[in-house]
Each structure stands twice: as C-alpha cells, then as structure tokens.
Amino acid sequence: SASEKGGWSSFMAKEITENPDAVANTVRGRVVDGLVNVPELSELGDDVLRGINRIILIACGTASYAGMVGSYAIEAWARIPVEVQLSHEFRYRDPVITPETLVVSISQSGETMDTLMAVKFAREAGARTLSICNTQGSTIPRESDAVVYTHAGPEVAVASTKAFVAQITALYLVGLHLGRVRSTLADAELRRLARELQELPAKVTEVLKTGPAVAQLAKWMSDSQAVLFLGRNVGYPIALEGALKLKELAYIHAEGFAAGELKHGPIALIDHGQPVFVVVPSPRGSALIHSKVVSNIQEIRARGARVIVIAELGDASVLPYADEVITIPLADPMFEPILAVIPLQIFAMELADAKGLDVDQPRNLAKSVTVE
Ligand code: G6P
C-alpha cells in the first residue's frame, strides 16, 4: 500500500533512498577503537582465519556482483587468493576444497536454493563456511559456520538496491578484519580505511542528489534499444550491475564489459548514437588504469557513441569526451563502487518508470528463487 511505501512512488524508490542507512547500519558496532572488528568472524577462530589459503565467494544475481567487488578488496587487503563463482556453477564443477578453503556465500534473502545447495556442498566437502545475509534466522546462515548479517532492513522491491550496497559493505568489513588478523595491512592503513568506511554513508547521501538529473537522462533515453556499460577493476562489477538492473527493470538489452575487453570484441557494437555508460576509475588510484579508461572513452566517442560517464568530482580529463557527466564524491578508490552504483540504480528505475512499467514487480522475476 501507499502508506507502507512511506509516500514513495515505489518500494524501489524508497529503498534507494535507504542506501546510506544500509551502509551505516552494516558498519555500526563493527569499528572498535578505530579498527574493524567483526565479532562473528572471530567465532571462526583467529588461527583458522590466519590459515585460510583460498576464498571462494558464491552467490547469484546482484549478490554475485557484490562478491566481485569484495574479491578485489579482500585479495588486496588480506593477500588471500579470492575468486567468485555463481552458486549453481560452483557446485557442479568438482571444485578443489580443503579445510583451509573459506567459502563465503552472499544472499539477501538467505533462501536462494542454488546458493543454499552450494553452501551445503561446500560444508560437506570440508570447507569453512561464512554467510553474508540480510535476513535474520533464514536458512543459509543456519547452514553456515558463521554469519555476518547485513543491516539493510527488509527489501521489498524485486530488484536489489540497498541490500547490494550492504553486501559490498560487509565484504569490506571482512577484508579489513582479515587484513588486521593476518597483519597484511599496516595499522595506519587499517585505521584510515575504517575511518573512510564510516564516512561513506554521508557520501552516498550526496550521490542521491544526482537523482533528478539522472531521471531526466532516463526520460530522454527511454526509447533506447540497447545500452552498454563499461568499467574496470572495481568498476567492472558495477558495469555488470548497471546492465543487469536495466535488463530486469526496463527490459532493455544491456551488457556490461570490462573496459579492457573493448578492443577484443565489444567495440564492434559501437555505432552512431549507441549509449554507453562508463564508470571511470579515480585518477588517485592507478593513474595508468584511469588513463586507459579515458582512452577507451575517446575510442568509442570517435565511433559515434553517446557517452555517459560516472566520474569522481574534479576529474576534468573526461569532460571533453563525455556527452553527460555524473559526478560522485571522492573516496578511497576501493570504496567507489558503493557510490557509482547509485546513479545506475536510479537510472534503471526511472527508465522503467518512463516506460510505464512496474518497477517493484518486473515480469518473470521473483524476489527470492527457492527452486534450483
Ligand atoms: C533473485 C532476485 C535478484 C537477486 C538474486 C539473489 O534472482 O531477483 O535480485 O540478486 O535472486 O538473491 P539473494 O536473496 O540470494 O541475494
């Protein structure tokens, strides 16, 4: 009902505005004396955490893209090889699992059957299992050795928004906890990143202000036949998520690509007027990666693409080649996905709305898929 939506036009619109709280509530209580400390992880035992030699993140859909972001962070901070596998692929490929393997499942509902079966499989094969979940008392946490709950609050819209940013937040917490316990990050770095994590909710609130401009863009683009998304490094999973949101909500053919793959195939798709969103990495991270993405933008622009960039405030290098610029506040480059995804969530919702579609209940989809 309208009252449940608190005056919003849809649950999705309401849940997008709850993104800052989802991050804040997931971090709350997990930074102690300036350092990330997740008690639920300590339950696995610090010796166990120090002995892990491989992490496999398993999930489906949007949660798998949260996993991809997390894989960059955990690997960089905790110096453990991390990979992401779709739950339904993981289980049937005869994976190598040892007692030093940590299998981390990510599920908003905690009921996704593909992920549940993968967790049971991992446990029986002898892995340690950790669940990242948004639903207290659901099945996947009960089947896992430990659980780190995300605190996004109930998510009603079928397309995941605030639960996604909460999942990424939880994975940052896991990465920083492991970096501390395994001493792979210096104390000053652990403190700086913990502080930045606490500053993220205010920055997410700032990004929400792009809403009206993004809505206008969505209206102009509502007759698009296909939309492409490019990203690199932690921006790559955000390109995938931007494309998935558009498919789910607006029924538009959308594809996300790693920007570095452009020349290996996708550039053939670029024709006059083809809309392309580009998630531009911060120049304060790797200047090299940043310049490579700027070159990609020049290449597609020269072939007629309509380029919409998401770039950090003050990044003037993209301005000459962009048709539209959406700016996000400055953050540690590892944290940018949480900021960059917000305009893409809004874009998909507004475009679906402009087409007169039901944004909370897209056709053929279910909030939680409880069959294999
Ligand atoms: C369904 C939903 C997606 C969601 C996926 C995983 O397909 O439509 O939005 O990302 O399930 O859901 P989970 O509850 O496991 O995060």
Query: What would the pLDDT profile of 198-213 be if each residue is shown by its tens digit?
Result: 999 999 999 999 999 9
Counting atoms of ligand 1 from 1, which one is nearest the CA of 160? 9
Counting atoms of ligand 1 from 1, which one is nearest the CA of 365? 8
ipTM: 0.94
Percent of the chain with pLDDT over 90: 97
**Residue 127: pLDDT over 70:** yes
The CB of 368 under 6 Å from ligand 1? The reply is yes
**Residue 101: pLDDT over 80:** yes
pLDDT digits (tens, 9 = 90+) for 349-366: 999 999 999 999 999 998
Helix (H) or strand (E) holding 276: strand 275-279
The mean pLDDT value of the chain amounts to 96
Residues tagged active-site: 367
Predicted pLDDT of residue 3: 64
Is residue 110 within 8 Å of residue 135, measured between CB atoms? yes
Burial of 212 (0-12, 13-18, 19+ CB in 10 A): exposed
How far apart (Å, rounded) are the C-alpha atoms in residues 74 and 176? 8
Measured torsion, CA atoms of residues 301, 290, 254, 161, in degrees rounded to the nearest 10: -140
How far apart (Å, rounded) are the C-alpha atoms in residues 211 and 16? 10
- For residue 132, how far is the Cα from the chain centroid? 13
Is residue 139 within 8 Å of residue 147, measured between CB atoms? no
Predicted pLDDT of residue 4: 79
> Could you give the angle at which helices 19-27 and 162-181 cross, rounded to 10 degrees?
30
The CB of 82 under 6 Å from ligand 1? The reply is no
The CB of 109 under 6 Å from ligand 1? The reply is yes
Model pTM greater than 0.90?
yes
The alpha carbon of 168 and the centre of ligand 1 are apart by a number of angstroms equal to 15
Instruction: Write the residue with the smallest CA distance to atom 4 of ligand 1.
Output: 61
The two tokens of residue 346 are 């809004």
Non-local CB neighbours of 340 within 8 Å, separated by 6+ positions: 231, 235, 238, 279, 310, 328
Nearest by Cα to 173 from 274, 41, 318: 41
How far apart (Å, rounded) are the C-alpha atoms in residues 345 and 328? 14
Is residue 190 within 8 Å of residue 165, measured between CB atoms? no
The alpha carbon of 180 and the centre of ligand 1 are apart by a number of angstroms equal to 31
Measured torsion, CA atoms of residues 9, 15, 20, 24, in degrees rounded to the nearest 10: 150
The CB of 116 under 6 Å from ligand 1? The reply is no
**Residue 347: pLDDT over 80:** yes
The CB of 87 under 6 Å from ligand 1? The reply is no
**Residue 2: pLDDT over 70:** no
**Could you give the C-alpha distances from 229 to 49, 276, 357, 362, in angstroms and in order?**
36, 6, 22, 21
Counting atoms of ligand 1 from 1, which one is nearest the CA of 163? 16
Predicted pLDDT of residue 152: 98
